[in-house]
Amino acid sequence: MKMSIARKILATAMGLVALMALASSLSFYMANEVGSRIDRLTSDYIPAYSNLARANVRSLEQALALRRLLIAAGVSPMDEQTVATDRTMFDKKGMEFAEELQAARTVINAEIASGNAFADPVALARMDTRILALLEDEQRHYMDEAARLLRALATGNAMERADEMRRIETMRDEINLRVENIRHDMQGLLREATAATRKDQSRVVVIGAVLTGLAALLGLGSATLIGGGVARPMRRLLEGTKAIEDGHLDIVVPVHSHDEVGRLTESFNRMTEQLRIKERIRETFGRYIDPRVVEGIIDHPAIAQGEGQRRVMTILFCDMKGFTAFSEGMTPQGLVKVMNRYLTTMSEPIRNQRGVIDKYIGDAIMAYWGPPFVSEGEQAGLACLAALEMLERLEPLHAEVMDLLGMRTGIPKIDMRVGIATGDALVGNIGSDFMMSYTVMGDTVNFASRLESANKAYQNRVLISGATAALASSYIETREIDRLVVVGKTEPQEVFEVMARKGALTPAQEKLKEHFAEGLAAYRAQEWDKAKDAFDACLEIKPGDGPSVTFLHRIEVLSTQPPRPNWDGVWIMDHK
């Protein structure tokens, strides 16, 4: 049954109120009954017992008055005044004795007539019969005999009436005994009535305690049920929340009620479903768009809605060397496998160094670093570290490709070229009303692409701009390669090669860097012989050093065809 928590609490409260009302009513009724019994004890039974007790006293007083009369009659001369007084007392006590017994009968008969006597009505009726017999027979007979004896004593010798006097006293003793027995029986009835009243009073207390206990049990039970009905689902919701915090979005909290907690649980499950959908969208789009961009657009919608901004960014272009020759002779399926493996392997260092992959262009990768994904101060260093990590993966990748194709020979060596540039770029959502792309544009992007191509001229792998080298100086070791004017530019740019991580140069690399710097300085000063010696020294340290070979070829040409007088050593590239 659908019932809100408020209604459940209200229903429980109403049940408790009803039970307490029942307990109060029953307790009031039974207490009223006990009160009625106590009233009847005080108004009926106790007065009847008191009447019998006083009747017993009056009987003794009458017997005493008779004894005094008998004593006075035996004295000569007889004191008439004393005899008259004692006779009056005798008659008075006899009358009072009869009145007390009659009063007791009146109370007893009223109790019997009420029909709700809580003492035994048969015992009351027998007691009434005994009192009546005592009044009408024995007391009357005693009074008659006593009166006859007193008349005889007034006319004769008291000694002659001694036997008769003893007989009358015996009659009085029997009357007293009967009154005492009736009083004792009345006392028994009064004790039984008192015990019954106490029993009823105890029953009232027990019933009140039972009803109070039932109310307490109902309250505790209802509180436990309602509290458990709220606490258990809330604990499940808390566990579900923790599971979501840990990334387990497949959690479904069961719904066991239709109250507010049940509706909250349903809302939680709907929210979890939306999170699962959102995560699937994130994962799906993350296969086509860099997850950093997807995450930023989903979690920070302002990125998707904002206009483009000019920021200092670091751009990386990576291209496979000799792709055409590498792909010749491969089936399309095999080429796809190899390219997917190659792009996956080369993308991992970019992700590891917190870069954003902008796009794949055939076998080329374009990536960038900069705000809001990384700080401006660390972007160049991270990009250069990613390039070094790419180079480190070439050898293992070649072995993987051979295993992937099931071949041991006939596969060209996989190599690559990387160009990195740092500078101003336009960053933002660029595209049409139908499709947008969060990307970077500008001269810095073009310059990075040109540097990647310039590796061909220097037979090198990684070339970076002067701005990149300056910002990444705490991350990497470099050597200056040349001052270039790339295609589409008029201003010369310093170009550097990334040699190793910071502080990781070998002694041979240290000498190579030193000799190359000497050769480059001599080259720019048009000291061809000195420059040639320095570059030859580089080749002795590193046979086949591409930049050294390139400069030796240039020196060979320039030594026979000297440059113009104002030549500054800048090399102008006339092709991409």
The CATH code of the domain that includes 478 is 3.30.70.1230
**Residues spanned by the domain of 337:** 308-502
Residue 295 lies in a domain: no
Single residue among 473, 502, 531 that ends a domain in this structure: 502
Q: 98, 58 in Cβ contact below 8 A?
A: no
Q: 425, 310 in Cβ contact below 8 A?
A: yes
Are residues 312 and 448 both part of a single domain? Answer: yes
pLDDT of residue 473: 94
Strands in 172-266 per DSSP E: none
Q: Is the dihedral of CA 510, 516, 519, 521 positive or negative?
A: negative
Residue 445 lies in a domain: yes
Q: CA 195: distance to chain centroid?
A: 58
- Nearest CA to 209 out of 31, 35, 13, 27 is that of 27
Single residue among 456, 472, 502 that ends a domain in this structure: 502
439/456 Cα distance (integer angstroms):
27
Are residues 127 and 168 both part of a single domain? Answer: yes
455/465 Cα distance (integer angstroms):
12
Residue 202 lies in a domain: yes
Are residues 193 and 316 both part of a single domain? Answer: no
Residue 178 corresponds to which tokens in the numbers above? 């009967």
pLDDT of residue 67: 78
Residue 201 corresponds to which tokens in the numbers above? 């009073």
Are residues 85 and 118 both part of a single domain? Answer: yes
- Nearest CA to 344 out of 310, 276, 390, 378 is that of 390
pLDDT of residue 31: 64
Q: Is the dihedral of CA 132, 134, 136, 139 positive or negative?
A: negative
Which residues have CB under 8 Å from 64's CB, separation 6+? none
| Alpha carbon separation from 33 to 47, 110, 181, 203, 356 (Å, rounded) | 20, 19, 31, 11, 92
pLDDT of residue 114: 74
Backbone angles phi, psi at 465, to 5 degrees: -75, 165
Tens-digit pLDDT profile for the chain (576 aa)? 455 666 667 677 777 677 777 767 776 666 666 666 666 666 666 777 788 788 888 888 878 877 777 777 665 555 677 777 877 888 888 888 888 888 888 887 877 777 665 567 777 788 788 887 877 778 788 788 777 777 776 665 555 566 777 787 788 888 888 888 887 887 777 777 777 777 777 777 777 777 777 777 776 776 676 666 666 777 777 777 887 777 777 778 777 777 777 777 778 788 888 877 777 766 665 555 666 666 655 555 555 555 678 899 999 999 988 766 666 667 778 788 888 888 999 999 999 999 999 999 888 999 999 988 899 999 999 999 999 999 999 888 888 877 777 666 666 778 899 999 999 999 887 777 666 777 899 999 999 999 999 999 999 999 999 999 999 999 999 999 999 988 877 889 999 999 999 999 999 999 999 999 999 999 999 999 999 999 999 999 999 999 999 999 999 998 888 888 788 888 888 766
Residue 368 lies in a domain: yes
Residue 262 lies in a domain: no
The secondary structure element, H or E, covering residue 358 is strand 356-361
Q: CA 381: distance to chain centroid?
A: 45
Are residues 438 and 527 both part of a single domain? Answer: no
- With 0-12 CB in 10 A as exposed, 13-18 as middle and 19+ as buried, what is 228? exposed
pLDDT of residue 129: 84
Are residues 211 and 341 both part of a single domain? Answer: no
Q: 393, 345 in Cβ contact below 8 A?
A: yes
- Nearest CA to 496 out of 464, 521, 520, 449 is that of 464
| Rounded CA Rg of the chain | 63
Are residues 494 and 518 both part of a single domain? Answer: no
Residue 504 corresponds to which tokens in the numbers above? 């990781």
Single residue among 467, 502, 537 that ends a domain in this structure: 502
Q: 255, 262 in Cβ contact below 8 A?
A: yes
pLDDT of residue 543: 93
| Alpha carbon separation from 425 to 177, 441, 472 (Å, rounded) | 133, 6, 18
pLDDT of residue 125: 80
Are residues 476 and 512 both part of a single domain? Answer: no
213/210 Cα distance (integer angstroms):
5
Residue 521 corresponds to which tokens in the numbers above? 């300085």
The tally of domains found in the chain comes to: 3
| Alpha carbon separation from 519 to 130, 482, 513, 531, 536 (Å, rounded) | 154, 11, 10, 4, 9
Q: What angle do CA 549, 555, 560 make, to 5 degrees?
A: 140
Residue 331 lies in a domain: yes
448/428 Cα distance (integer angstroms):
19
283/294 Cα distance (integer angstroms):
9
Are residues 484 and 558 both part of a single domain? Answer: no
Which residues have CB under 8 Å from 410's CB, separation 6+? 329
Q: At what angle do helices 140-155 and 46-73 cross, to 10 degrees?
A: 20
Give the Cβ contact number of residue 384 at 10 Å. 32
Q: What angle do CA 418, 421, 422 make, to 5 degrees?
A: 150
Are residues 544 and 485 both part of a single domain? Answer: no
Q: Tell me the one-letter amino acid at 296.
A: G
Q: 324, 438 in Cβ contact below 8 A?
A: no
First vs last C-alpha separation in the chain = 78
Are residues 448 and 367 both part of a single domain? Answer: yes
- Nearest CA to 265 out of 299, 235, 233, 287 is that of 233
Are residues 102 and 62 both part of a single domain? Answer: yes
Residue 298 lies in a domain: no
Residue 531 lies in a domain: yes
* Helical ranges in 430-565 per DSSP H: 443-458, 466-471, 507-524, 528-541, 546-560
What is the b/e burial string over 146-180, where b = at least 16 CB atoms within 10 angstroms of the residue's CB? beebbeebeeeebeebeeebeebeebbeebbebbe
The secondary structure element, H or E, covering residue 571 is strand 571-572
343/181 Cα distance (integer angstroms):
124
